[in-house]
Amino acid sequence: MESNQLNFNTTTNWKEETVKDEKLHFQAPETKRLKHYELDLLHIVPENKEENKPFISHTTFVDSVIGIVEHVFPLQCNLEPNILVKQPVIGRIPQAKGKPDSQLQEFEKTIYYNAMRVVIPVPITSELEAFNLTYIIGGFHCYNQSSDCKKPGEEIIKIFEGFEDKRSRQLAIKTCETLIANQLESVRALEGRLFNFVKRVSNYPGFSANTEM
């Protein structure tokens, strides 16, 4: 794990990343922005052929991150996730396997995205307003078909924190932890790891975080 405690007194150097990870920076031409409900309604869940079971869905991962952040940071506002996806895999339902593409109905089409990044703005301090910055916690999730995964059956998860420029949406990642999701026993185990990360990075002066799960 790479780690660096944030210092709000040095936000003039916010672009200086501690964690250099190209996977966390989605390039605009390669990505699509989705609403949370779109990811939930339209995105199917592929199966891990190595283990003969479904992967953790992007929606489950996003919901887990939001739930943990809302628990640790008891803010009086709704947290709106910014979701980007890339590497789409387009398919069809079995009943439409013989149809030409031009004749497919919308309900006969399927899609999932191999890689997804979620960024959650967390308004925990007003000190950043002068710099047009937002403190963020986010996550990256990819299936083993993605070019971001190196081994068959891998399901990569990254959880990170840092800053986002409100105008350009440019990110500076300060702390990041990588997990192999399919080595975890359950979604509950994933949530435990997410909670430990968020709790660890939430110790800022003047802010009272909930550190009990």
Q: How far is CA 158 from CA 49, 52, 71, 115, in A?
A: 22, 23, 19, 11
199's tokens? 């709790």
Tell me the pLDDT tens digit for each residue of 28-44: 677 888 999 888 888 88
> Per mean pLDDT, which range of 22-31, 112-121, 170-179, 191-200 is the poorest?
22-31
The neighbouring-strand residues paired with 119 are 82, 138
> Per mean pLDDT, which range of 25-29, 98-102, 132-136 is the poorest?
25-29
Measured between alpha carbons, how far is 189 from 147 in angstroms, rounded to an integer?
25
Question: Which residue do the tokens 């967390």 mark?
Answer: 122
pLDDT value for 16? 55
Is there a contact between 18 and 174 (Cβ–Cβ < 8 Å)?
Answer: yes
Question: What DSSP string describes 192-208?
Answer: HHHHHHHHHT---TT--
Amino acid at 173: I
pLDDT value for 13? 56
Global pTM reads 0.79
- Tell me the residue length of the chain: 213
Is there a contact between 26 and 86 (Cβ–Cβ < 8 Å)?
Answer: yes
Residue from 193, 62, 48 nearest 140 by CA = 62
Measured between alpha carbons, how far is 111 from 16 in angstroms, rounded to an integer?
36
Banded model confidence at residue 163, pLDDT cuts 50, 70, 90: confident
Total Cβ atoms within 10 A of residue 180 = 13
210's tokens? 């909930």
